[in-house]
Amino acid sequence: MRETRRAIDAGVKLTEVFLNFSSSTDSDRVALSAIADALQVPSFELSDEAFAKISFGNRNEGIVAVADAFEHSLSNLKLSDSPMILVLDGIEKPGNVGAVFRTASAAGVDAIFLTNELCNPLNPNAIRASLGTVFGLPFISCTVSAAKHFFEQNRIRPIATRIDGDCAYTEFDYTQSIGIVLGSEDQGVHEEWKDIESVTIPMKHSVDSLNISATAAIFSFEANRQRNQIR
């Protein structure tokens, strides 16, 4: 229900809704029916067996919505005066992609770019992990060269997160327009990004990487902390 509501709030075009009331409370039944009625699209009540076949995972929340796929483009991307963009470079696990969207939404990130894309944010597991925030946060699938050109044209300073970065993440100035490039845990950022300056998260013991959603949280909220200090 939460993901469907967020899709609706973001203006995603839904085309069909499938409902199952077997495990619903009275209040849930009213809420589900209200959603279906408000959409003014065909809705169908399914048996438990039929609903189990079309739903994702093992949690029956009583609603499955079908939506038109959508894309954002660099040409119509709207940003704030001093944007913060996260770049997911070669990230393949849907759960990680979705978790980054959830973090980015909470931190007020303007947009997410996906370069060397291995997982579409509209993957069902990514949507679930994001709690539906993929619908409200613009994302762009593009080449590294296209992302670099966009940053140059819009005076956005790109930095790569690397284990051997040029400085600690707390020493970098995030108050400017910034593009933070995050690579996979095992491969890091691709060679195409190696020519930009880099930052690192100092770690102790034998740890040399963090889950990408944790890394995204550290950088985006450090950026928020610095930006809030100058307001």
19: domain CATH number is: 3.30.1330.30
Sorting pLDDT into bands at 50, 70 and 90, what band is 40?
confident
Q: Which domain holds residue 147?
A: 74-229
Token pair, residue 156, equals 């956005």
Cα-based distances in Å from 2 to 13, 15, 189: 16, 17, 33
Same domain? For 89 and 163 the reply is yes
Q: What percent of the chain has pLDDT over 90?
A: 65
What is the number of structural domains in the chain?
A: 2
Same domain? For 189 and 163 the reply is yes
Same domain? For 56 and 87 the reply is no
Question: Given strand 63-67, what is the order of strands in its sheet?
Answer: 43-45, 14-19, 63-67
Same domain? For 44 and 132 the reply is no
Same domain? For 48 and 87 the reply is no
Give CA–CA dist 48/20, Å, rounded: 7
Compute the average pLDDT of residues 43-69.
86
Token pair, residue 161, equals 């997160």
The residues with which 39 forms a beta bridge, in sequence order, are none
Quote the pLDDT of residue 207: 81
What is the pTM assigned to this prediction?
0.89
> What's the full length of the chain, in residues?
231
Name the domain boundary from 47, 67, 87. Answer: 67
User: CB neighbours (10 Å) of residue 203?
Assistant: 11
Same domain? For 93 and 164 the reply is yes
Sorting pLDDT into bands at 50, 70 and 90, what band is 230?
low
Name the domain boundary from 41, 67, 93. Answer: 67
Give 3-state DSSP helix, strand, coil % of the chain, rounded to 5: 40, 20, 40
Residue 127 has pLDDT above 60, yes or no: yes
Quote the pLDDT of residue 103: 95
Compute the average pLDDT of residues 119-148.
95
Same domain? For 39 and 55 the reply is yes
Name the domain boundary from 67, 99, 121. Answer: 67
